[in-house]
Each structure stands twice: as structure tokens, then as C-alpha cells.
Amino acid sequence: MDFGRAEFAGQGAAFGTFGEIKVLVATVVNSVGAVIDRQGRVVRGNYHAELGERRHPSADYAELTGAPAVMGNTTLTVMITNVKLTDVELLQVGRQVHSSMHRGIQPFHTLTDGDTMFAMTTDEVELSGVKPTGLGTLASEVAWDAILSAAE
């Protein structure tokens, strides 16, 4: 991907409630690649002016027409939940959510970017019926909504 095909995104946020569980994800998407919606369409970035279309970065890499990744492909994110979690559980939920963000941003976690996420909890409610992995799954969907919000 190169800066010539990049399109500005911005900051986005999404909030989800699942019973007593609350999750807020805010992100600043500064990706040189592309933002992908849930149907697999590129909604921002990797715009080929000569073709008048946005393309999934994998198509360019498969055709060897994409430039190497460039510096500056950084997405900053914060996830806050009200669920009481141990430090280990919070770390794992954070990893799960951050790893899931590749679905909405391609490429993600490249060699030269600084994708970072901070995970926090207010420790207000106990998990009941939903294990930390389930919380991570729900929060991952909220993160995707935040990414899409940044591309609007």
C-alpha cells in the first residue's frame, strides 16, 4: 500500500450493551491500507484513481502491484468495559479484541506500523453466564463498529 492510494479516515467510537455488560471502543484509524465492512467491501482507502475504485489490499499483493508497507500505518484504540476482570483476563480480552481488528483494517499489525490498544475496566459488574472469551467476542464486534464509524 502507498500513501498515494490512502484516504483519510478519522476517529470513531461505538458502544455496546449486553445485559449489564457495557463496552466502549474508541479508535483513531490512520491506516494506509483499507477499511473493510462486514460484507468484505472496501469502504475507505486503497483507492485506485486510474480505475476509479477501491480494492482489497490482498488483490494488489496477489498481483504484485502494491508498494511495500510504509511508515505511519498506525491505529490507536481504547476499549473500556464495566466487567470485573483479573489482570490476566483483561490482558487476554484486550489481545482478543485487538487481534480481531484485522477484519476491519487491512493490512493490520504490519512490520512498520504502531497499532496499539489500551484495555481498561471499571470493575463494576461480575460476569454471569459470559466468560472472558465471550466478552472478547462481543467487544470485537463493537471494535469493528468503531472502525467503520471512523471511516464515515
Report whether 48 contacts 4 (CB < 8 A). Answer: no
Query: Taking Cα atoms as reference points, which of 59, 148, 74, 58 lies closest to residue 108?
Result: 74
Q: Has 74 been annotated as catalytic?
A: yes
Q: Which of 17, 74, 86, 110 is catalytic?
A: 74
Helix H, strand E, coil C: the string for the chain is CCHHHCCCCCEEEEEEEECCEEEEEEEEEECCCEEECCCCCEEEECEECCCCEECCHHHHHHHCCCCCCCCCCEEEEEEEEEECCCHHHHHHHHHHHHHHHHHCEECCCCCCCCCEEEEEEEEEECCCCCCHHHHHHHHHHHHHHHHHHHCC
Positions annotated as catalytic residues are 74
